[in-house]
Amino acid sequence: MAADVTARRGRGRSRYGRYSGGDPLAPPVDLGEALAEIGEDVMAGTSPQRAMQEFLRRGGRDQRGLDSLAAQVAQRRQQLLAEHRLDGTLQEVRELLDQAVLAERKQLARDLDDEARFSEMRLGNLPASTAAAVTELGDYPWRSSEARETFEQIKDLLGREALDQRFAGMKQALEGATEEDRGRVSQMMADLNALLEKRRLGEDTPEDFAEFMDKHGDSIPGEPQDLDELLDELARRAAAGRRMLASMTPEQRAELAELSQQAFGSPELAQALDRLDDNLQALRPGEDWDGSESFEGDQGLGLGDGTGVLQDLAELDALAEQLSQQYSGARMEDVDLDALARQLGDEAVVDARTLAELERALRESGYLNRTADGALRLSPAAIRQLGKALLRDIAERMSGRTGGRDVRRAGAAGELDGSTRPWEFGDTEPWNVTATVGNAVRRVVAEGGDPRSGVRLSVDDVEVDQTEARTQAAVALLVDTSFSMAMEGRWVPMKRTALALHQLVTSRFRGDDLQLIAFGRHARTTRIEDLTSLEALYEQGTNLHHALLLAHRFFRRHPTAQPVLLIVTDGEPTAHLDRVGEAEFAYPPHRVTLALTVRALDDVHRLGAQTTIFRLGDDPGLAHLIDQLARRVEGRVVAPDLDDLGAAVVGSYLGSRDPGWDQARGFWPF
């Protein structure tokens, strides 16, 4: 229900509140955007845990993130401090005092006796201090009934404000209260202090609390279910009241301390409240009893309202910490949605709940795995999803190139086996026209259309003939992981390229074998999961020699497969392996390094490898060397922009698998 309702049933209580579970009919959160951005950050060297936190902090295209909510919290906090000041009760008491004195002076002016003149002198010599003046007039014999009534309002106001500072809403509840009402309040205070003192001694029982609530429950804000709930609420309020006093000037605190003795016309209430504060601080020492704030506004606040603002500030501080998610074990479910609704409204709650659902879905989807040491890592499922997204981007980039279309040559991939399947990017099999048109007709009918008036094909309708591959390829992708790749912003494009090629080979060309080889000062074979999360390596050395040795060994393990060598680099070979397997580095490149690199490339070429070198950067020396290496092994050189690197590598691979692929232009011809 929209409003909170509380029903009492004897001593038991049933609570009814606003539904806070979100829209039960809402679709599940879309993890696509989150996974894509998390994957980008991971490939840039961020840990998956940090990448997830960063996404939640930034938010998505149509989703506010934690930073936006935290900024709103900070703005709300600053607004409270800028709008208010804390002398509202003093100001209200001063106004009532001035009204009472003015009314009394009018009455004295009409009276001609000597006592009236003495009273005028007494009023004329009142102290400048509001508290001292109220104390001075405590035993004044008022002649004006209006003045007497106004002065009594000061005592009543002080009592109600003092109670409101500890029990929210008491100021309004006791407006116009009778002596009997005040007596009940005094009894409630005595019983409450007695109950808290039993708790301090460890002698209280649930029956004590139930008896207290049956007797005084109407005077207690909220519906506490046990003494601990009552203690928590009262201590938070009392601590906020203490912080409010600490935020005042010393003069204002002194004035209020003196005025408190006049609450309800006697010091008994002030004494009972001091006793209550002592009990609460002893039972809840962890509350902030000593803080203060700097208020700069023009709107004066009374003791009760000021305490409420201090509670709001504390709640905002707690929300800021929850939204920061910087503490150990932080989760979105830690965010207090009720507090967020109170401070920022329901729209902020919707945003926070969506972020919490995203976080929970990411953890439960299987996209993030926890390793033995407790760290999060992208799972194989997440790697596949990222690879699919990258392939879709590459397909759009390829099909959008001027003068070409993404068209497949019939029969290029192998011999037909009689079955069909849905078309996916990378397929070279021919369309099955019958199945494709049948899919389109069924879709139109399902959408309520009439196929007799025409059918338009959708890409989802297309089915291709299943074929048996005629050839197998052994693909070695050599990626440069040297210092310059990280420094020149080529680290993430390199990983995206490897991931897209890995996805294409493992999903569309399952008969092929792909070996990923990373080379810096040394070279090493690597899994796609390890390469994706590999942090930037700030090491000097481009050991293409070592990488080619590993590629040669890989090709030798697949003697019946067509070798395909793809090299991505931005630097000349500056390291090689010596006779004992140690890396030797030299810059400019040493002739021994160049000679060993050329020999290793020749060995790979003798195995029949189709070689393509992707040169990154515009260094003339590198361009000259790469051109010479490619000509030596009848290979190709491609110098793509970073944005086109993935499309260039995938296109080169597809060219090795399909002779109809136009390698120069990157698409199949008409």
Q: How far apart are CA 98 and CA 106, in angstroms?
A: 12
- Together in a domain, 173 and 228: yes
- Alpha-carbon distances of 667 from 426, 660, 662, rounded to whole Å: 11, 9, 5
If you ran DSSP here, which 8-state letter would residue 534 be given?
P
Q: Is 495 exposed, middle or buried (0-12, 13-18, 19+ CB in 10 A)?
A: buried
Please list the rounded mean pLDDT of every run of 10 residues in the chain (670 residues): 36 46 53 69 65 79 85 93 92 94 93 89 92 91 94 92 89 85 90 94 94 90 89 93 92 91 86 93 94 90 90 92 84 88 90 82 67 62 68 62 34 55 71 84 83 81 70 86 82 79 79 88 87 75 93 92 88 89 87 93 92 86 90 87 76 67 40
Q: Which residue has the tokens 């793809």?
A: 566
Can you list the positions of beta strands (E) in 443-485? 463-469, 473-480
Angle between helix axes 48-58 and 32-43 (nearest 10 degrees) is 130
CB 474 within 8 A of CB 554: yes
- Together in a domain, 547 and 558: yes
Collapse the DSSP code of 397 into the 3-class scheme (helix H, G, I; strand E, B; otherwise coil) and give the result: helix
Taking the model in full, what pTM does it have?
0.63
Q: Say if 8 falls within a structural domain.
A: no
Instruction: List CB contacts of 241: < 8 A, sequence separation 6 or more.
Output: 165, 166, 277, 303, 307, 310
Largest Cα separation within the chain, whole Å, is: 130
Q: Say if 384 falls within a structural domain.
A: no
Collapse the DSSP code of 422 into the 3-class scheme (helix H, G, I; strand E, B; otherwise coil) and give the result: strand
- Alpha-carbon distances of 207 from 50, 204, 504, rounded to whole Å: 50, 8, 71
Collapse the DSSP code of 376 into the 3-class scheme (helix H, G, I; strand E, B; otherwise coil) and give the result: strand
If you ran DSSP here, which 8-state letter would residue 138 be given?
G
pLDDT for res 405: 30
Tell me the CB-side half-sphere exposure of residue 57, using CA atoms within 13 A: 14
The token pair at 327 is 């503490």
For strand 376-378 and strand 368-370, is the pairing parallel, antiparallel, or unpaired? antiparallel
pLDDT tens digit string along 618-648? Answer: 888 888 999 999 999 988 888 887 777 777 7
- Together in a domain, 458 and 516: no
DSSP codes joined into one string, 44-61: TT--HHHHHHHHHHHEET
- Together in a domain, 290 and 149: yes
At 22, the amino acid letter reads G
- Together in a domain, 71 and 115: no
Q: Say if 152 falls within a structural domain.
A: yes
What domain range includes position 418? 414-469
Considering 422, 444, 469, which residue would you say is the last residue of a domain? 469
Count the domains in the chain: 4
CB 624 within 8 A of CB 547: no
pLDDT for res 329: 76
The token pair at 405 is 């279309």
pLDDT for res 173: 83
pLDDT tens digit string along 397-417? Answer: 665 543 333 333 333 345 555
- Together in a domain, 153 and 278: yes
- Together in a domain, 585 and 647: yes
Considering 469, 487, 514, which residue would you say is the last residue of a domain? 469
CB 351 within 8 A of CB 63: yes
Q: What are phi and psi of 208, to 5 degrees?
A: -60, -45
Q: Say if 285 falls within a structural domain.
A: yes
- Together in a domain, 159 and 287: yes
Instruction: List CB contacts of 419: < 8 A, sequence separation 6 or more.
Output: 465, 466
Collapse the DSSP code of 517 into the 3-class scheme (helix H, G, I; strand E, B; otherwise coil) and give the result: strand
If you ran DSSP here, which 8-state letter would residue 328 be given?
T
Q: How far apart are CA 42 and CA 38, in angstroms?
A: 6
Q: Which DSSP helix (H) or strand (E) runs through 523? A: strand 523-526
- Together in a domain, 527 and 491: yes
Q: Which DSSP helix (H) or strand (E) runs through 415? A: strand 414-422
CB 283 within 8 A of CB 199: yes
pLDDT for res 670: 25
The token pair at 211 is 């008896």
Q: How far apart are CA 123 and CA 53, in angstroms?
A: 67
The token pair at 38 is 């998390």
Q: Say if 120 falls within a structural domain.
A: yes
pLDDT for res 204: 93
Q: Say if 401 falls within a structural domain.
A: no
Torsion of CA 195, 196, 197, 202, to 10 degrees: 90
The token pair at 118 is 């003495």
- Together in a domain, 269 and 358: no
pLDDT for res 215: 92
Q: How far apart are CA 236 and CA 304, in angstroms?
A: 13
Among residues 105, 107, 155, which one has the least CA distance to residue 135?
Answer: 155
Q: How far is C-alpha 305 from the chain's CA centre?
A: 33
- Together in a domain, 127 and 272: yes
If phi over 0 gives left and psi between -120 and 50 gives alpha, with beta otherwise, what is residue 335? beta
If you ran DSSP here, which 8-state letter would residue 31 be given?
-
Torsion of CA 542, 544, 546, 549, to 10 degrees: 170
pLDDT for res 426: 59
Q: Say if 64 falls within a structural domain.
A: yes
Q: Say if 400 falls within a structural domain.
A: no
DSSP codes joined into one string, 609-642: -EEEEEE-S--HHHHHHHHHHHHHTT-EEE---G
Q: Is 419 exposed, middle or buried (0-12, 13-18, 19+ CB in 10 A)?
A: exposed
Q: How large is the C-alpha radius of gyration of the chain?
A: 40
- Alpha-carbon distances of 96 from 102, 351, 602, rounded to whole Å: 10, 47, 102
pLDDT for res 64: 86
- Together in a domain, 430 and 510: no
Q: How far apart are CA 27 and CA 24, in angstroms?
A: 9
Among residues 465, 464, 461, which one has the least CA distance to residue 438?
Answer: 461
Written in H, E and C, the secondary structure of 171-239 is: HHHCCCCCHHHHHHHHHHHHHHHHHHHHHHHCCCCHHHHHHHHHHHHHHCCCCCCCHHHHHHHHHHHHH
DSSP codes joined into one string, 560-627: TSEEEEEEEESS---EEE-TTS-EEE-SSPPHHHHHHHHHHHHHHHHTT-EEEEEE-S--HHHHHHHH
